[in-house]
């Protein structure tokens, strides 16, 4: 049943991608526009663009991908004009079906290595680590102060009780104030979570979170159904912090190869900007109100 569900996910993802592309976009003539039931590409059009037979592509979209080569996946990715994140997601889904849970699942880190905590503590800007489920698992003082609004007591975040970024975004009313552009942040949160779910589709922690949010949030459920994915390496974000007001930061994210599933994120405002002043003020507050984060185990989720 598990493998069947993963195979179905491939078909649903491919169908969602071809629904986003019109024949005009890929240079195909349209002779029967009035008869087309959907604006996107038909299966036979994708097959033509990919250089495959219609029957073969149809079988792939139905999840029968055993024996499908990487070159075939590349051809389909080109036909559907998949970006880097989408192509990687397709490869991840294919790997999950063809290798099964034992070989497709990365070895999860059970505890935060002291070196990782020291690395965060050495930063003078917010630095924190999240897992594939998007739990905040460790960080420096300034990171806990920055993300104080995610905790039940915003003025005194408790490092011993990790919080989840996606759950906060969709289930906590304070998220709409903390994220001035909530819609963009919500889209990003869902797309990133789906990307991580594709990398390890057998992760019970992720699937339990998706089930919870799909049940409790219409906004999450609608976005999840779109099957959009994205990569998250660098960019800018804007927050409204209850203590210091608006802060715009540049961010860099770095997977930790020695700790599969963990990602280090660093925030830095533009030097000399109002956001830098706000960050300095927040750092002063953190120094007087927070204590260093204790060594801790990662949140446990059944696999």
Per-residue pLDDT band for 1 (boundaries 50, 70, 90) equals: very low
208 occurs within a structural domain: yes
Q: pLDDT tens-digit profile of 108-154? A: 656 789 999 999 999 999 999 999 999 999 999 999 999 999 999 88
Residue partners of 181: CB distance under 8 A and separation at least 6: 238
- What DSSP character marks residue 293? P
- SS3 state of residue 234: strand
Pick from 245, 243, 186: which is nearest to 218 by CA? Answer: 186
Per-residue pLDDT band for 300 (boundaries 50, 70, 90) equals: very low
pLDDT for 5 equals 74
CB-based burial label for 63 (10 Å; 0-12, 13-18, 19+): buried
Co-location of 123 and 260 in the same domain: yes
d(CA 199, CA 205): 13
CB atoms within 10 A of CB 23: 18
Co-location of 93 and 123 in the same domain: no
Co-location of 124 and 98 in the same domain: no
Range of the domain at 49: 2-104
d(CA 133, CA 164): 8
302 occurs within a structural domain: no
d(CA 70, CA 92): 11
Based on the structure, what is the number of domains in the chain? 2
14 occurs within a structural domain: yes
Q: pLDDT tens-digit profile of 179-190? A: 999 999 999 999
Domain finish residue from 82, 104, 126 = 104
Q: pLDDT tens-digit profile of 214-251? A: 999 999 999 999 999 998 899 999 999 999 999 999 99
């Amino acid at each position: 049943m598990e493998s069947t569900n993963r195979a179905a996910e491939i078909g649903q993802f491919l169908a969602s991608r071809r629904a986003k592309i019109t024949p005009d976009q890929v240079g195909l003539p349209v002779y029967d526009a009035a008869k087309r039931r959907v604006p996107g590409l038909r299966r036979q059009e994708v097959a033509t663009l990919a250089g495959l037979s219609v029957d073969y592509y149809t079988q792939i979209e139905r999840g029968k991908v055993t024996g499908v080569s990487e070159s075939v996946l590349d051809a389909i990715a080109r036909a559907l004009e998949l970006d880097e994140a989408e192509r990687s997601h397709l490869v991840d889904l294919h790997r999950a079906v063809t290798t099964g849970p034992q070989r497709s699942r990365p070895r999860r880190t059970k505890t935060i290595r002291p070196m990782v905590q020291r690395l965060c503590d050495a930063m003078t800007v917010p630095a924190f680590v999240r897992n594939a489920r998007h739990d905040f698992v460790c960080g420096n003082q300034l990171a806990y102060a920055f993300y104080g609004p995610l905790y039940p007591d915003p003025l005194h975040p408790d490092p011993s009780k990790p919080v989840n970024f996606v759950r906060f975004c969709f289930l906590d009313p304070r998220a709409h104030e903390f994220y001035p552009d909530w819609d963009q942040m919500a889209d990003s949160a869902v797309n990133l979570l789906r990307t991580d779910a594709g990398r390890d589709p057998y992760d019970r922690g992720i699937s339990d979170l998706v089930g919870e949010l799909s049940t409790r949030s219409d906004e999450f459920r609608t976005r999840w159904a779109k099957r959009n994915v994205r990569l998250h390496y660098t960019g800018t974000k804007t927050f409204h912090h209850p203590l210091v007001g608006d802060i715009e930061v540049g961010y860099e994210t770095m997977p930790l190869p020695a700790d599969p599933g963990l990602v280090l994120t660093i925030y830095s405002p533009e030097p000399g900007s109002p956001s830098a002043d706000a960050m300095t003020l927040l750092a002063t507050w953190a120094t007087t109100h927070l204590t260093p984060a204790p060594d801790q185990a990662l949140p446990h989720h059944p696999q």
